């Protein structure tokens, strides 16, 4: 699927995240984050006739995912009240906010949807986050958490619907640039949930490398952003269980990432649960990397299109590594 209709007007349409904002954010958060590895991973390792491939290993970020960048970007750009912060997350964003809050010595309460990954919930608690369960999916949890923060005067930290968070995720693109990987890349594969990662990275990369083909990848079982992009407006769509819990669930109706994805993404791709699991196993078996389902989604998208990019070079963002190893043997 390529770009869909133009977005309907809305509160998010005027939001712009540019290279200057991302560069400022990188300077702000750099003391608190890891510069994660960028590695060459020959396509031959995956049985793909030596198609050039670069992996950005955000699974080695603090708290196990790229979300830590956005959490610090949010918390470091505002005064945190004594009551602390509230976030909504099925896992990685909650862990990132809990980690960042602990480093900055403020209280963090994390609202999680019913059925959230138990391993990720344990990680949130281990990092100092206080858990509260509400709603059947991430969209409902987000609405509740935002309302609670407004009522009590705490700071709400959105997983994606916040310009500072998006700029924080865009700092991953700064590191890709400095690694030299972009000098020969033709395509970038990135997991797509609420769109914060794609929006931030694409905002950094597209201005300098307009030819870079950015492919947003989602699981077939929960592709709310892709369905919304096809319709030209944010939809309420059902989500089925998926290995990619980090990208699952709905979006807020005014999500600023929607027009950003519409403007900056080039193609949208859904992958099956079988493809996600195969990609996760392949990364484990060929490179010893334990990645979570969302990272598996991006890798599965690349594997689906690998032949198309023969003779070119591609980058896959492995966005997180918070996974129970037993999942890969299921």
**pLDDT tier at 3, thresholds 50, 70, 90:** very low
- How many Cβ atoms from other residues are within 10 Å of residue 110's Cβ? 31
Q: What is the rounded CA–CA span in Å between residue 228 and residue 55? A: 28
Q: Considering only 38-47, 171-180, 272-281, which range has the smallest mean pLDDT?
A: 38-47
Report the pLDDT value the prediction gives residue 15, as an integer from 0 to 100. 66
The alpha-carbon radius of gyration of the chain (Å, integer) is 18
3: in domain: no
Q: What is the rounded CA–CA span in Å between residue 137 and residue 144? A: 11
Report the pLDDT value the prediction gives residue 8, as an integer from 0 to 100. 35
- DSSP E strands in 106-238: the ranges are 108-112, 130-133, 155-157, 187-191, 213-219
Strands 213-219 and 187-191: parallel
**pLDDT tier at 330, thresholds 50, 70, 90:** low
144 lies in the same domain as 217: no
- Tokens 């070079």 appear where? 313
316 lies in the same domain as 241: yes
5: in domain: no
Per-residue pLDDT tens over the stretch 29-57: 999 999 999 998 876 667 666 678 999 99
The number of CA neighbours under 13 Å toward the Cβ of 172 is 37
56: in domain: yes
Q: Is the pLDDT of residue 2 over 70?
A: no
Per-residue pLDDT tens over the stretch 52-80: 899 999 999 999 999 999 999 999 999 99
Q: What is the rounded CA–CA span in Å between residue 198 and residue 214? A: 8
275 lies in the same domain as 190: yes
Report the pLDDT value the prediction gives residue 1, as an integer from 0 to 100. 52
204 lies in the same domain as 99: no
* Residues 255-266 as b or e (16 or more Cβ within 10 Å = b): bbbbbbbbbbbb
181 lies in the same domain as 306: yes
35 lies in the same domain as 82: no
Q: Is the pLDDT of residue 91 over 90?
A: no
Q: Is the pLDDT of residue 5 over 50?
A: no
Q: Provide the domain count of the chain.
A: 2
With residue 24 as reference, give the H or E element that holds it.
helix 19-29
Q: What is the rounded CA–CA span in Å between residue 196 and residue 205? A: 14
Per-residue pLDDT tens over the stretch 297-326: 999 999 999 888 888 889 999 999 999 888
CATH code of the domain in which 50 resides:
3.40.50.1100
Per-residue pLDDT tens over the stretch 131-159: 999 988 777 888 899 999 999 999 999 99
| Domain finish residue from 157, 185, 200 | 157
| Domain finish residue from 113, 140, 157 | 157
182: in domain: yes
82 lies in the same domain as 145: yes
Structure tokens at 138: 């991430």
Long-range pairs of 240-244 with CB within 8 A, sequence gap ≥ 24: 242/273, 242/276, 242/293, 243/219, 243/273, 243/276, 243/277, 243/280, 243/293, 243/296, 243/327, 244/191, 244/193, 244/218, 244/219, 244/276, 244/292, 244/293, 244/294, 244/296, 244/297
- Cβ neighbours of residue 105 under 8 Å, at least 6 residues apart? none
- DSSP readout, 28-93? HHGGGS----EEE--GGGGTSTT--EEEEEGGGSGGGBTHHHHHHHHHTTSPPPTT-EEEE-SSHH
| Domain finish residue from 157, 184, 205 | 157
Q: How far, rounded to the nearest angstrom, does the alpha carbon of residue 129 sit from its chain's CA centroid?
A: 20
Give residue 313's domain range.
19-66+163-329
CB of 312 within 8 A of CB of 52? yes
Q: Tell me the CA distances in angstroms from 85 to 96, 131, 154, 235, 327, one per residue in order.
A: 12, 12, 5, 28, 32
Report the pLDDT value the prediction gives residue 13, as an integer from 0 to 100. 45
3-state secondary structure at position 217: strand
């Amino acid at each position: 699927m390529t770009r869909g209709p133009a977005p309907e007007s809305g509160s998010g349409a005027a939001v712009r995240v540019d290279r200057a904002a991302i560069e400022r954010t990188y300077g702000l958060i750099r003391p608190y984050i890891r510069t994660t590895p960028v590695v060459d991973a020959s396509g031959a390792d995956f049985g793909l006739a030596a198609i050039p491939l670069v992996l950005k290993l955000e699974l080695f970020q603090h708290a196990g995912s790229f979300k830590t960048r956005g959490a610090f970007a949010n918390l470091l750009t505002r005064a945190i009240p004594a009551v602390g912060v509230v976030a909504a997350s099925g896992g990685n964003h909650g862990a990132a906010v809990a980690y960042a809050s602990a480093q900055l010595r403020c209280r963090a309460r994390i609202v999680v949807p019913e059925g959230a990954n138990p391993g990720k919930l344990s990680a949130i608690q281990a990092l100092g986050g206080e858990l509260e369960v509400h709603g059947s999916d991430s969209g409902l949890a987000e609405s509740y958490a935002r309302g609670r923060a407004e009522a009590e005067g705490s700071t709400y930290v959105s997983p994606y619907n916040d310009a500072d968070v998006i700029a924080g995720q865009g700092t991953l693109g700064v590191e890709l640039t400095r690694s030299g990987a972009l000098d020969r890349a033709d395509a970038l594969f990135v997991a797509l949930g609420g769109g914060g990662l794609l929006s931030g990275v694409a905002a950094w990369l597209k201005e300098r490398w307009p030819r870079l083909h950015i492919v947003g990848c989602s699981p077939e079982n929960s592709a709310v952003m892709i369905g919304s992009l096809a319709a030209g407006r944010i939809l309420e769509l059902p989500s089925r269980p998926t290995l990619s819990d980090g990208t699952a669930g709905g979006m807020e109706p005014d999500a600023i990432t929607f027009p950003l994805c519409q403007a900056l993404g080039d193609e949208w791709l859904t992958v099956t649960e079988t493809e996600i699991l195969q990609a996760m196993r392949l990364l484990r078996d060929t490179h010893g990397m334990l990645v979570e389902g969302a990272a598996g989604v991006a890798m599965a998208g690349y594997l689906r299109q690998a032949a198309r990019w023969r003779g070119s070079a591609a980058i896959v963002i492995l966005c997180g590594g918070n996974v129970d190893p037993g999942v890969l043997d299921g």
